[in-house]
Amino acid sequence: MTNNKYIEIDKKNYLQTFGRYPITLDYGKGSRVWDVEGKEYVDALAGIAVNAVGHNHPVLVKQLQEQVTKLMHISNFYLSKPQAELSKKLVDLSGLDRVFFSNSGAESVEGAIKIARKYAHSIGRGGEIISFTGSFHGRTMATIAATGNKQMQEGFEPIPAGFKQVPFNDIKAAKSAVSKETAAFIIEPIQGEGGINSIDIEFIKELRNLCDEHNIVLIFDEIQTGIGRTGKMFAHEYLGIKPDIMTLAKALGGGVPIGAILSNEKVSSAINFGDHGTTFGGNPLACSAALAVLKIIESENLLEQAKEKGQWLKNRINELNLPGLKEIRGKGLMIGVEFDFETKPLVEKMLEKGVLANATAGSVLRIVPALNITTDDLEKVIDVLIESLKEL
């Protein structure tokens, strides 16, 4: 069947909420994917920062195959070997004290909000969560409230109460927003959907101090930045401060849905038996995938690769004198190229020419490929970018 035939099926049957590109993908290998008509693409989007080790990585595939034949799912009434191993691994890597597994990013943020509120109430504070303009925290009811983008909230009222937004990187605004009601601040070390905007180091240090002063919980949403994306396992390692809670998802399972909420002992201790739960979260299959992803990142030195290749890509784009280029932002392989025009038509042109990328925040081209993408594949991304800009 052709791309169009599948798209007709989708249009007729699927809830029409995604503005999809006109292709239907069939299989992938490394950073290459093929559509159902056999056309090949370089994948510079990696499922929006999910396929960190590329498609079909042999170590991940083998581990999943083995786990499928052993145990895919059990209730969280029981423990599985992969869950115990993964919890230890993530606690060791993060320096935080406890972990809870979920199925997605939004669900991790929901869990983080619950832990923060439970802790805040236990010390006599209110439950308000403060986030930042340009942030993105998910599409469930509480996470659209945290995201604060009116477009995402419209028509879904009443929006859950207890959320407030202040300007990104503005410590004065953050300070004046704080009251006895404040439970937590939630922030992305680099805003992903918001256009690859980095946190200011002085600002975040002051925010950490502000939180310590008032016993407010600091949540880092590392759903997009975590698991090696920026060249460190967690992007906040660049900042020299630690959060009380960190959310993860996306790259953690390398394509198998899994999220995680990590928290320090202080806030974790507010959670009692029965306070939170999940059926699927942390099942043996998903945990086994995450263990394989972490193993691959270590054995293939992917943090270093992300740093080097990201820098290479930024340098390459910088020396090209691209028409309409305003700024190149980001760290490691989380790169935003801002132009002085809307980038959606550019992304469509690039797709026609065999590269998957993404437009975000209107005028930003987002490049978040697998951490092990080859230089040849990155060269192709550059060539296609140049050709596409010429034809726009």
Ligand X SMILES: Cc1ncc(COP(=O)(O)O)c(C=O)c1O
Binding site for ligand X (CB under 6 A): 104-106, 109, 136-138, 188, 192-193, 221, 223-224, 249
Q: Which residue is nearest to ligand X (CB)?
A: 105
CA 237 to chain centroid, in Å, comes to 16
- Of 136 and 339, nearer to ligand X (C-beta) is 136
- Of 251 and 350, nearer to ligand X (C-beta) is 251
State the minimum distance, in angstroms, from the CB of residue 222 to ligand X: 8
State the minimum distance, in angstroms, from the CB of residue 197 to ligand X: 12
State the minimum distance, in angstroms, from the CB of residue 280 to ligand X: 13
Phi, psi of 66 (to 5 degrees): -65, -45
The residue written with tokens 């999943």 in the block is 64
- Of 43 and 193, nearer to ligand X (C-beta) is 193
State the minimum distance, in angstroms, from the CB of residue 336 to ligand X: 13
Phi, psi of 337 (to 5 degrees): -110, 110
Calculate ∠ Cα 346-168-120, nearest 5°.
130
Coil, strand, or helix at residue 219? strand
The residue written with tokens 């059926």 in the block is 279
- Of 127 and 226, nearer to ligand X (C-beta) is 226
State the minimum distance, in angstroms, from the CB of residue 143 to ligand X: 7
Tokens of 89: 């691994």
- Of 166 and 260, nearer to ligand X (C-beta) is 260
CB contact at 8 A, 75 and 279: yes
Full DSSP string of 157-213: PSPPSSEEEE-TT-HHHHHHH--TTEEEEEE-SEETTTTSEEPPHHHHHHHHHHHHH
Q: What are the b/e assignments for 275-303, b being 16+ CB within 10 Å?
A: ebeeebbbbbbbbbbbbbbbebbeeeebb
Tokens of 39: 């056309």
Whose CA is closest to 168, among 211, 209, 131? 131
State the minimum distance, in angstroms, from the CB of residue 319 to ligand X: 30
State the minimum distance, in angstroms, from the CB of residue 346 to ligand X: 21
- Of 30 and 134, nearer to ligand X (C-beta) is 134
- Of 117 and 125, nearer to ligand X (C-beta) is 117
